[in-house]
């Protein structure tokens, strides 16, 4: 997950630094991978909770962490989308 977010951040940086529309698209395309990871991690965690493999407090913390990481990805996507709009306007 952290590697994916790092890739997203690098692509946003490229989009802003070099007005790179392909980097914007990379962020947009990468968002689905983040969402899929979050869903899979949440499902796996719920299964662990159901089988008593972890306690509830650590489970809440884990799910909260996942939610925050997802928000980071959402913010990166928002920045990339706005950068894409600016790139298109400035190239016109």
70-82: pLDDT as tens digits: 999 999 999 999 9
Q: What is the pTM of this model?
A: 0.88
pLDDT at 57 over 90: yes
Contact present, 13 and 24 (Cβ < 8 Å): no
- Write out the E strands in the chain: none
Give, in order, the Cα–Cα distances in Å from 71 to each of 16, 18, 31, 36, 55.
20, 25, 11, 14, 25
pLDDT for 25: 95
Q: What is the DSSP letter of 54?
A: S
pLDDT at 91 over 90: no
Burial class (CB in 10 A: 0-12, 13-18, 19+), 53: exposed
């Amino acid at each position: 997950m952290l590697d994916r977010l790092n890739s997203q951040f690098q692509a946003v940086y490229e989009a802003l630094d070099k007005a790179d529309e392909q980097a914007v698209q990379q962020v947009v395309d990468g968002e689905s991978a983040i969402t899929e990871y979050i869903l899979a991690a949440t499902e796996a965690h719920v299964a662990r909770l159901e089988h008593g493999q972890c306690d509830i407090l650590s489970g809440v913390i884990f799910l909260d962490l996942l939610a925050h990481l997802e928000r980071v990805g959402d913010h990166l996507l928002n920045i990339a989308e706005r950068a894409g709009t600016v790139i298109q306007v400035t190239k016109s």
